[in-house]
Amino acid sequence: MYNATGRLDRDSMIRQYLPLVHKLAHHMIIKLPASVELDDLVQAGMIGLADALTRYESSQGVQFETFASQRIRGAMIDELREVDWMSRSSRKSQKDIEKALHRLEQTLGRQPQESEIAAELGLKLAEYQSLLGRVRGTQLVYLEDMPGHGDEEGSFLDRNLGDTQADPVNLLQDHRMRQSLVAAIKTLPEREQLIMSMYYEQDMNLKEIALVLEITESRVCQLHSQSIARLRTKMRNH
């Protein structure tokens, strides 16, 4: 679309390609933790679209939609790099829990109970449960867990949130990751398996889960955080 001066009509192009921004944002959000807001991705994507309109030249031999898609994804990934998904203290607490879980699993040969995890951390049970509530674990994968995170070429964000649909290697890795996750969930204590199923498969929120299980919403939050820590411990080698 061009205006009377032969330039791209930005307003018309933005309206035309707004659905593309939303499509890419929705595709990306499913691979991200619940703490990332869809609106934030869309906002970043709009910046990428505007940048594409400024930089695009038909002489490059690339269709505008292809060029714009790359710019939109790049802007969304840049936005994610700027976001600290968990505070440093919360992330440290999460990792302390995971290390305690790993030590206990190695020693006991089974999934440790809450009281055992608390003792391993040198905490009373109530203190440990309070810590779980503050951590509110939502992420199965953190950037710092992955080789090449940050601004290096081939970073975790670029590899996992870029246009990887046509890459059979990435598709295979994603399939293996899902298989490993399913297997890891089956090792959780029964109640935690149920919570994960209701939360992720049935798309129930914490309040709804609390009503079903007849426990408090804060208790569901604690068990969910503990489940995430268990899964991250299991998934670390996958």
CB 65 within 8 A of CB 13: no
CA 65 to chain centre: 26
Both 173 and 120 in a single domain?
A: yes
Task: Please indicate, yes or no, if residue 143 is contained in any of the structural domains.
Answer: no
CB 232 within 8 A of CB 98: yes
First to last CA, the chain: 47
Helical axes 88-108 vs 125-135, angle rounded to 10°: 130
Both 37 and 117 in a single domain?
A: no
Q: Which of 26, 34, 68, 36 is nearest to 51 (CA)?
A: 68
Q: What is the pLDDT along the chain (238 residues), one digit of tens a residue?
A: 554 444 556 778 888 899 999 999 888 877 676 567 788 889 989 999 988 888 888 777 888 899 999 999 988 888 877 665 556 677 788 889 999 999 999 999 999 999 999 999 999 999 999 999 888 655 554 444 444 444 443 454 555 555 544 444 444 455 566 677 778 888 899 999 999 888 877 778 888 999 999 999 999 989 988 998 888 888 765 5
Query: What's the pTM value of the predicted model, to 2 decimals?
Result: 0.55
What CATH number is associated with residue 189?
1.20.140
What pLDDT does residue 117 have?
96
Both 107 and 14 in a single domain?
A: no
Question: Which residues are 8's β-sheet partners?
Answer: 2
Task: Please indicate, yes or no, if residue 119 is contained in any of the structural domains.
Answer: yes
CA distance 111 to 163: 37
- Residues in the chain, total: 238
What pLDDT does residue 80 have?
79
Tally of domains within the chain: 2
What pLDDT does residue 8 have?
56
Both 173 and 228 in a single domain?
A: yes
- For 30, the domain range is 10-82
Both 97 and 188 in a single domain?
A: yes
Both 109 and 123 in a single domain?
A: yes
Close Cβ partners of 131 (under 8 Å, ≥ 6 residues apart) = 93, 97, 121, 123
Question: Which residues are 2's β-sheet partners?
Answer: 8
Q: Which runs of E-coded beta strand occur in 88-192? A: none
DSSP assignment of 14-36: HHHHHHHHHHHHHHHHTTS-TTS
